[in-house]
Amino acid sequence: MAISLLWADGENTPPVPQSFTPSGVAQRWPVGLPHAVEAAIWRGDALGSPVASTLGTGFEALDAELPGNGWPCQSLTEVLQVQPSVLEWRLLAPAMRVVVAQGKQIVVVGPPKAPHLPGLRHLGLDERQLVWVNADKPVERLWATEQLIRANAAGMLVSWLPQARQEQIRRLQVCAQSCDGPVILCRPESAAHEASAAPLRLQARLGVDWELHVHLLKRKGPPHEGELRLPSIPGGLETVLTPRLRYPSRLIAARQCRELSHAVGSPSSRQPSGRPAAAH
Amino acid sequence: MLWAALLPDSLPDDPQRRTEALDGLATWCLQFTPRVAVLEALLQCPAVVMEMEQSLRLFGGKRRLVERVREESRDLGVRQLSWAPTSLAALAVARAGLSNGFAKPLAQLLDALPLETLTQVATHQATLARLGCRTLGQVRALPRGGLSRRFDSQLLATLDQVYGLRPETYPWAQLPETFHAKLELMARVEHAPAILFGARRLVLQMAGWLMARRSGVTAFTLRWCHDAMRSKSAGDGGELTVRTAQATRDTEHLIRLLAEHLDKVELLAPVGDLELLATEVQSLEEKSFSMLPEARQSGESLALVLERIAARLGPDRVLRPVILEDHRMEWMCRWRPAPEPAPRARSCMVEVPQPTFILAKPLRLATQNNRPLYQGVLQLLAGPHRVEGGWWDRTTQSEEGERVGEGKGKGEGAPAPASPETTRHSARDYWVAVSEHAGVLWIFQMRLAKEETAWFLHGTFA
């Protein structure tokens, strides 16, 4: 679009561009707009402005891609993963730390495994500000989640809803509009194919090299392409990681290489070359 | 003066029960004002009157107070609620089926009412009718001297009181020290949740009583009596005690809690009567409103909603953690029901890395070339971290007993008391392992019998 404009300007009226002083915004807009109008216009390639407040995620790269620069409050956020209990705390803990610092409570509903508090403490959580609602059946999970959202009493609510249906999520989203804290729903990857009323949905998976790979499936704004790589080392492990352990993928690759050479080269002369490597 | 008259609906005929029902209503009224009286309890059409002029400001103005009384009194089974400047006028207006005694000037309004609306006038109705009187206004127009000579002094006194010419005196209703209220249900109830309909009225009365005493309830008991047509095995009835963590008099919360508990009750026979007792009462500190507009706390507090969730799911399902000073993973953290008060002392922090999710029971992993497998071969990263000890921790738990029994190859299920005392001793080497699919894991290697070792998955760094 910018190119066509320049071309049009150049052909018809050469003196006009000088009077306009095309720099930045003026290049895209042939007529200079008053500042108030400029501020009120939402462009298609900009991130949508959130109606509600947000809570910073603690990851700068992720904040930059989210409308409002953080987890949205007063609405649902879906985190989709291939299997549960792999990266939830690592993804959410930086935001939880802020909630805890404000003295609010964190409620988790139906996590797939028992939360282990010493580990959570490494992430900065406090035992006095964590409540675990151990609900097993899908109905119980939904009911407890809805009650907590309606009560609007928790600083942050994380709920594992592996079997929730579309209309149930919609119902929660309607309730969540009056809830002041972020509501995070952890759902399986297969839910990515269903429509969902949650305004923000992200797919998260684990990178071996102490990273989280996040793809924003749905957000207010243009579609997100590619994956964000967020550095994340689980709490307490920083102290024991040596430089060699910073890249476990290299260790795995080396091991696979050894195994491969071991398996493929067994009848031929490659076996002796593989053995010393394994011995080291 | 702002008088309200409440005419209750469908009172029992038995004098004692009738008095109790009226007293219950009066107790509820006492939350608004101390000036509450029961009128003509044993006559045809009894009523409870209260004077509320002094309470208007406390309850946020006349309109809001009237709204609130109207809303709640409907649930209490009040047939007619009327307002007037004097108590007897309110009563007369109520009996005439009107509600607003301020619509016209009082004398004008009362003059049009029939004789039956006032009991003292109605007793002379036959005579008065022969004199040609059909309304109060016509009686009042008769010469006072003649009236006082021909009829008893009550008639003239009552007329003066109705029109506000003579002061009214009442024995005020007293607030009982303890609360118990009974209710006979309209129809026999066979399902426990349907009791709630009747129980609601009792809870409202209790809330009124608590409000008048400036206290809150931490435990209340609902009793029900089976009706006479029950089978012998059913017994007389049952009771249900509902407890709350914080003293409260919030009707909606109490009713929701009661509903959750009643859902689990199975009635053995149809129920005829209900009784509600406030068993544990604590004084409640009032929160004064701020002059400045402040951040509005919408919704209920977390404790209330957790209490409600615990009432439905069970108390051991809403949990808060306690850190224990132990180095073995299983006993580092204990979960206790949320409403219990938190322990004071904060225990010290463990410095070694710890996973964020743990498995309830370690999962034994398969191995390949002495490498543990869990969704692929695991890459060991850091370790070993030796955790050993626990010989001091003696237990005779059946779970441990089973494990010991399995180890010795004796499968016959020994009952828990018979299982030998054992210790929760463990000797494990913990490792941090990483898998491309399952994430960062916390696994341990343990020595088994016969020089064998095994790998177990115990937690994930999620």
The CATH number assigned to the domain holding B255 equals: 3.30.1490.100
User: For residue B350, which residues of chain A lie inside 8 Å, CB to CB?
Assistant: 118, 121
- Give SS3 for A151: helix
User: For residue B436, which residues of chain A lie inside 8 Å, CB to CB?
Assistant: 206, 208, 252
Q: Which one of B340, B370, B375, B461 makes the best mutation probe of the A interface by having the most chain A beta carbons within 10 Å?
A: B461
CB atoms A116 and B459 under 8 Å: yes
Which of B259, B283, B307 terminates a domain? The answer is B283
What is the least distance, in Å, from the CA of A165 to any CA of chain B? Answer: 22
Which pLDDT belongs to residue B305?
A: 84
Which pLDDT belongs to residue A186?
A: 92
Residues 427-456 of B with CB under 8 A from A: 432, 434, 436-440
B86 neighbors B120 (Cβ within 8 angstroms): no
Same domain, B80 and B146: yes
Same domain, B138 and B212: no
Token readout for B21 is 């029902």
CA gyration radius, chain A:
25
Q: Which one of A73, A83, A86, A183 makes the best mutation probe of the B interface by having the most chain B beta carbons within 10 Å?
A: A86
Least CA distance to B327: which residue of chain A? A118
What is the least distance, in Å, from the CA of B68 to any CA of chain A? Answer: 23
Least CA distance to B298: which residue of chain A? A152
Strands B333-337 and B318-323 turn out to be antiparallel
Q: Does B314 touch chain A (CB under 8 A)?
A: no
Residues 286-305 of B with CB under 8 A from A: 298-302, 304-305
Q: Within B45-143, where are the H helices? A: 62-75, 87-95, 106-111, 119-122, 125-130, 136-141
Which pLDDT belongs to residue A23?
A: 46
Contacts 24+ apart (CB under 8 A), B366-371: B367/B454, B367/B455
What is the least distance, in Å, from the CA of A49 to any CA of chain B? Answer: 24
User: For residue A119, which residues of chain B lie inside 8 Å, CB to CB?
Assistant: 353-357, 459, 461
CB atoms A144 and B309 under 8 Å: yes
Q: What is the pLDDT along chain B (462 residues), one digit of tens a residue?
A: 889 999 888 777 788 888 888 888 899 999 899 899 998 877 878 899 999 888 888 888 889 999 989 988 888 888 899 999 999 999 999 988 888 888 888 888 888 888 888 888 888 888 888 988 888 889 888 898 888 888 888 888 888 988 889 888 888 888 888 888 888 887 888 888 888 888 888 898 898 899 888 888 889 999 888 887 777 777 778 888 888 877 888 888 888 888 888 888 888 888 888 889 888 888 887 766 666 655 555 556 788 888 888 888 888 888 888 877 777 777 788 888 876 666 555 556 667 788 888 888 888 888 887 788 888 888 888 778 888 877 777 776 544 434 433 333 333 333 444 456 667 777 888 888 888 888 888 888 888 777 778 888 888 888
Q: Does B197 touch chain A (CB under 8 A)?
A: no
Residue B379 lies in a domain: yes
What is the least distance, in Å, from the CA of A109 to any CA of chain B? Answer: 9
User: For residue A124, which residues of chain B lie inside 8 Å, CB to CB?
Assistant: none
Which of B251, B283, B315 terminates a domain? The answer is B283
Does residue A254 carry a pLDDT above 70? yes
CB atoms B321 and A127 under 8 Å: yes
pLDDT band at A27 (very low <50, low <70, confident <90, very high): low
CA gyration radius, chain B:
35
Residue B348 lies in a domain: no
Across the interface, which of B317, B335, B353 has its CB nearest the CB of A236? B353
Q: Is the dihedral of CA A132, A135, A140, A142 positive or negative?
A: positive
Residue B333 lies in a domain: no
Q: Which one of A102, A106, A117, A160 makes the best mutation probe of the B interface by having the most chain B beta carbons within 10 Å?
A: A117
Residues 356-385 of B with CB under 8 A from A: 356-360, 377, 379, 381-382
Which of B129, B162, B195 terminates a domain? The answer is B162
Same domain, B156 and B259: no
Residue B344 lies in a domain: no
**What per-residue string of b and e applies to B326-361 under the rule 16 or more CB within 10 Å gives b?**
bebbeebbebeebbeeeeeeeeeebeebbbbbbbee
User: Tens digit of pLDDT for each residue in A120-174?
Assistant: 888 888 878 888 998 888 899 999 999 899 888 888 999 999 888 889 999 999 9
Same domain, B39 and B134: yes
Least CA distance to A110: which residue of chain B? B317
User: For residue B360, which residues of chain A lie inside 8 Å, CB to CB?
Assistant: 113-114
Helix, strand, coil % in chain A, rounded to nearest 5: 45, 20, 40
Does residue A51 carry a pLDDT above 70? no
User: How many domains are there within chain B?
Assistant: 3
CB atoms B335 and A114 under 8 Å: yes
User: What is each CA distance from B410 to B22, B387, B404, B407, B423, in whole angstroms?
Assistant: 70, 29, 9, 8, 19
What is the least distance, in Å, from the CA of B357 to any CA of chain A? Answer: 4
Q: Which one of B356, B368, B434 makes the best mutation probe of the A interface by having the most chain A beta carbons within 10 Å?
A: B356
Is A41 exposed, middle or buried, given 0-12, 13-18 or 19+ CB atoms closer than 10 A? exposed
What is the least distance, in Å, from the CA of B440 to any CA of chain A? Answer: 8
For the segment A26-30, the average pLDDT, to the nearest whole number, is 53
Residues 236-255 of A with CB under 8 A from B: 236-237, 239-241, 245, 248, 251-252, 255
Q: Which one of B349, B357, B457 makes the best mutation probe of the A interface by having the most chain A beta carbons within 10 Å?
A: B357
CB atoms A83 and B437 under 8 Å: yes
Q: Does B172 touch chain A (CB under 8 A)?
A: no
pLDDT band at A183 (very low <50, low <70, confident <90, very high): very high
CA angle A155, A156, A160 (to 5 degrees): 150
B85 neighbors B165 (Cβ within 8 angstroms): no
Q: Which fold has domain A54-236?
A: Rossmann fold (3.40.50)
Same domain, B387 and B456: yes
Only one residue has tokens 């429509």, namely: A195
Q: Does B324 touch chain A (CB under 8 A)?
A: no
Where in chain A are the domains? Answer: 2-40, 54-236, 247-279
Does residue A36 carry a pLDDT above 80? no
Domain that includes residue B43, residue range: 3-162
Same domain, B82 and B133: yes
Does residue A277 carry a pLDDT above 60? no
User: For residue B316, which residues of chain A lie inside 8 Å, CB to CB?
Assistant: 134
Which pLDDT belongs to residue B348?
A: 61
Does residue A210 carry a pLDDT above 60? yes
Residue B339 lies in a domain: no
Same domain, B14 and B154: yes
Strands B78-84 and B3-8 turn out to be antiparallel
Q: Does A132 touch chain B (CB under 8 A)?
A: yes
DSSP state of A71: E
Which pLDDT belongs to residue B398?
A: 47
User: Tens digit of pLDDT for each residue in A68-118?
Assistant: 888 888 888 999 988 888 888 888 888 988 888 888 888 999 888 888 888
Same domain, B192 and B156: no
Q: Does A191 touch chain B (CB under 8 A)?
A: no
Q: Does A107 touch chain B (CB under 8 A)?
A: yes
Least CA distance to A175: which residue of chain B? B299
Residue B308 lies in a domain: no
